[in-house]
Amino acid sequence: MRIDLRSDTVTQPTPEMRRAMAEAEVGDDVFGEDPTVNRLQEMAAEMLGHEAALFVPSGTMANEIAIKVFCRPGDAILVDAESHILHYELAGPAVLSGVLVEPYPIERGHIDPTAIEGRIRVADDHTPGTTLLCLENTHNRCGGTILPPERFQVLCDLAHRHGLRVHLDGARLFNAAVALGVSPQVWTRHVDSAFFALSKGLCCPAGSVLVGSRDFIREAHRVRKLFGGGMRQVGILAAAGIVALQTMIERLAEDHRRARRLAEAIAELPGFEVDLETVQTNIVYVHTTRPARQIEEQLAAQGVLTIAMDPHRLRLVTHHDVDDAGIEYAIHAFQKIG
């Protein structure tokens, strides 16, 4: 048996997605003429309460497009110290947009507004001005934690009072919405731009959708081309995204339930610790007494794939393609090596 808990990006498209992809009506999306892409973008904009949307190849590109649109070379942006933008985008803000990335502290998904306010720079002859605040929800490296809507609004209002734009890395935004039983708009209505990933828990083969004002998306379209993301008959991929938005969101609750079962079982084993307070969606971080890489290899030998994120920390991510039996198998594998 092979249980892949490395990421929810390993999910396979559903049969309904494959049928939709095979039958998709397509056109040249660089010209804005792919009807399936246009439908997906309209759906996404409406769901997130923004004027317009843009289909892009990846979440990383979505983040980098937003930074490029909102900033000029020499500006400063604020990201949290555990953010995807800081850790997993190859210094993209500096390379692609020429901006200074300044991190603010985050602890178990909690952010102190004063820590952000104290890092906002006012441009002068010596200091770059801060122009953008980036937030992440759910938060990957903090364990899939949810930034509560009321705290999120406080952070956005703070940024806007100081003249900053706000961008939301919402790769797993629908996980947060399903976990709290709310509309994603409780977060997205406060930001200037946001994106969500189709290729994670929603099971699509590729793609993310970036939303914002019509003017923002018009410029984002140009930047997407600059970054090499202008694709042609991409309705073949967008068709899967439409199916995902229609059928795959509510079932994310199953992933959350399985993550909780996995976390609670591992937390009982010697040599492993799990901060159960952070297990709010579909990500479980396991702190290991022995080197995490060693644990990763031992689990892989039993067919359970995980990722050693740090010297003593494993990440496990539940998703559509791991059922209850797979979770029990993974628990048994941990018990064997514990």
- Compute CA distances 98 → 134, 162, 164, 305, whole Å: 16, 22, 17, 37
Is a pLDDT exceeding 80 seen at residue 93?
yes
Q: Are residues 203 and 270 in the same domain?
A: no
User: Backbone phi, then psi, for 294, in 5-degree steps?
Assistant: -65, -45
- The pLDDT assigned to 17 comes to 98
Domain end, chosen from 207, 231, 247, is at 247
Q: What average pLDDT does this structure show over 6-25?
A: 98
What is the pLDDT averaged over residues 174-181? 98
Question: CA of 275: how far to CAs of 141, 175, 267, 268, 285, in Å?
Answer: 13, 19, 8, 12, 8
Give the integer Cα–Cα distance in Å for 123 and 252.
43
Average pLDDT, the chain: 97
> What residue type is 106 in one-letter code?
I
Beta strands per DSSP E along the chain: 3-4, 52-56, 76-80, 100-104, 130-136, 165-169, 193-197, 208-212, 272-273, 283-288, 304-305, 307-310, 313-317
**Could you report the per-residue pLDDT of 106-125, keeping only the tens digit for each?**
999 999 999 999 999 999 99
In a domain? residue 297: yes
Q: Residue 43: inside a domain, yes or no? A: yes
CB burial class (10 A; 0-12, 13-18, 19+) of residue 280?
A: buried
| Tally of structural domains, the chain | 2
Share above pLDDT 90 across residues of the chain, in percent, rounded to a whole number: 99
Shared domain check, 258 and 216: no
Strand stretches in 170-302, DSSP E: 193-197, 208-212, 272-273, 283-288
Q: Are residues 167 and 181 in the same domain?
A: yes
Over 90: is that where the pLDDT of 338 sits? no
Q: Please state the φ and ψ torsions of residue 72, each to the nearest 5 degrees.
A: -110, 155
Residue that finishes a domain, picked among 247, 267, 287: 247
DSSP category for residue 107: B
- Between the CA of residue 60 and those of 153, 208, 273, 315, what are the distances in Å? 24, 9, 31, 20
Domain boundary among 247, 273, 299: 247
pLDDT tens digits, 235-262: 999 999 999 999 999 999 999 999 999 9
How many angstroms separate the CA atoms of 99 and 121, rounded? 13
Residues forming beta bridges with residue 317, ordered by sequence position:
283
* 46: nearest Cα among 252, 189, 240: 189
Query: Do both 71 and 220 map to the same domain?
Result: yes
Check pLDDT > 90 for residue 18.
yes
Residues 109 and 205 in one domain: yes
For 290-334, how does the pLDDT look when each residue is reduced to its tens digit (9 = 90+)?
999 999 999 999 999 999 999 999 999 999 999 999 999 999 999
User: Which residue in this structure is represented by tokens 């001005």?
Assistant: 129
pTM: 0.97
**Residue carrying structure tokens 């995807």:** 84
- Residues 67, 89 within the same domain: yes
The pLDDT score that the predictor gives to residue 1 is: 85
pLDDT in tens, 28-57: 999 999 999 999 999 999 999 999 999 999
- For residue 165, the enclosing domain spans 10-247
Residues 14 and 163 in one domain: yes
Identity of residue 282: N
CATH code, 295: 3.90.1150.10
Cis peptide before 138 (omega within 30 of 0): yes
Contacts of 126 (CB under 8 A, 6+ apart): none
Q: Which amino acid is at 108?
A: R
